[in-house]
Structure 1
C-alpha cells in the first residue's frame, strides 16, 4: 500500500482493477467493437457504392446530354441544308419561269412582227393593184379626151390626190 496523505493506493486492488479493465477492454473489443466496426465498414462500402453509382449516373447523363446535343446539331444542319436546297430550287424554278416567259414574249413579238410585215406587204400589193387600176383608168381617160398640156397636168394632179387619199 502506498500512502500519499489523503489518498491511499493499494497495489493489489490496482492490479486487479487493471486486469479487469484490460479483460473488459478485450471483451468490448471482441464483442462490441467488432460488430460496430463491421457495421461501420458495411456503411462505408455502401456509401462508396452509392458515390460510385452516382458518378456513373452523372457520366451517363453527360454522355446522353452530349449525344442529344450532337443529334440536335445534326438536325439543325440537316434542316438548314433542306432550306438551302428548297431556296435554290425555288430560285432555279423562278429563273426557268422567267426564261420561259421571255422566250414566249420574244416568240409572240416575232410572230406579231411577221404578221405586221405580211399585212404591210398585203397593203402594198393592194396599193399596187389600185395604182395599176387607176393608171389604166387615167390612161383610158387621157386617150378618150385628147387633152392639152394644162388639162393633162390637172388630170395627173387629180390622180395623185386620189392616190394620196387612199394611202
Structure 2
C-alpha cells in the first residue's frame, strides 16, 4: 500500500552506491544513487534516473547509427528491391490472370456454339464411320456370297461328274450283261465280219492289202 517512489530525473546516473550517495556534493548525487536491497520499502531508495535512460537510449541510437547505418541501408535497399520484384511479379500474374479470365469468359460466351460444332463434327464422323462399316459389310457379304456360289458350283460339278461316271458305269455294266445274255455266236461272227469289212475304208489306200492280209487272217481264223 506504499506510495510509489518519486521520479528520479538525474540522481545516480552511473550506478548504485549507498555510501557515496549519502555524502554531500553535486557530483556524488549525479553519479551515485541509494538503493537498499534488504528493504525495498526504504524511503531513501531511488529508482534508476530518467536521464540515465535517455543517455543509454542516445548511446544505443548512436551506436546503431554509426555501425548499423550501412547494413541497415543495404538491407532496406535489398528489401525495397525484393518488394518491387514482388510487385512486378504480382502485376504480371494479375495481367496473365486477367487475360485467362478474358479467354474463359469468351469461351463461356461461345460455349453453345462450340458445343453445336462439336455435336455436328461428332455426328459427321459417326455417319462416315457407319457408311464405311456398311460398305465393308456389303463387300464382305458379296465376297462370302461369291465364295459360297463358287463352292456350290464346284460341288455340283463334282456331284454331276460322279453321277455321270456312275451312270456310265451302270450303262456299260448293263450293256455287257445284255450282250452276254442276248447276243448269240452267229451275231458275234456277223459283228466281227462287219468290223473287218469296215477296216479298209477306215485305213484308206492300203485297205486292199490289209484286206488280203485280213482275209488270210480271217481265213486262218475261220
TM-score range, shorter chain: 0.3 to 0.5
Comparing both structures, which one devotes a greater share of its residues to helix? 1
| Structure having the higher Rg | 2
Q: Which has the higher contact order (CA 8 A, sep 6+)?
A: 2
The normalised TM-score by structure 2 is 0.38
